[in-house]
Amino acid sequence: MNIIAKLMIAVAALTMPAFGLAAQDNANPVALKGDVKAEKIVTDADGAERIELVEPTSIVPGDRLVFGTDYANNGADAVTNFVVTNPLPAAVRLAPDADPALDVSVDGGKTWGALAALTFTNSDGTTRPAAHADVTHVRWVLASIAPGASGRLTYPAIIR
C-alpha cells in the first residue's frame, strides 16, 4: 500500500464518530470531519511565491502536509471541555514549525504536554528530550463550543 493510500485511510478514520471522543457518547452534538492537504508552492504571474493547500496526489519524503479537523456544534446547548485527539499516521512526523503550545503525546496518548516539556524513553530505557519525530498524537481541549459555532484545528506534518 502506498503512502497516499495509508494517509487516506488515516484521514477516513478521523471522520468516524469515535475519533477523539473517548469521554463522549454518541448523542454528542459536535460533528467532526478530518482531512489532509499537501502544501504546494505556487508562483504568481508577478513572480511572487505563495503556499497553496491541495489534495495530495503524489507525495515523497520531505513533503509537507496539513492535517485538519473541522468541528461544529449542531446542538442547542454549549458543549464544554470537548477533546479532539488526532493520532499522527506512522508515515509522517510533526513539522518543526508546529505551534510550540500544541498539546502532544510521545507515548501513544498516555501523557500530554507541550513538546519542550516532554521526554522520550529510548528502547534501552534511557530518556532524552522529546523531538518532533517522536510525537504520536496531538490534541486540543476546547473550553466551550457555543450552539451553532464551528471551527478548524490543524497541525503541519512532514512525510518521513
Q: What is the pLDDT of residues 83-120, one digit of tens each?
A: 999 999 999 999 999 999 999 999 999 999 999 999 99
Q: Which residues contact 58 (CB under 8 A, 6 or more apart)?
A: 4
Mean pLDDT value of segment 44-50: 90
Rounded CA separation 143/59 (Å)? 36
Rounded CA separation 21/44 (Å)? 42
pLDDT number for residue 42:
87
Q: Is the pLDDT of residue 20 over 60?
A: no
Cα Rg, the chain, nearest whole Å: 17
Q: What residue segments make up the domains of the chain, in order of their start?
A: 3-159
Rounded CA separation 139/152 (Å)? 13
Report the CATH architecture of 3-159.
Sandwich (2.60)
Mean pLDDT of all residues in the chain? 87
This prediction has a pTM of 0.81
**2 phi/psi in degrees, rounded to 5:** -80, 170
Rounded CA separation 21/25 (Å)? 7
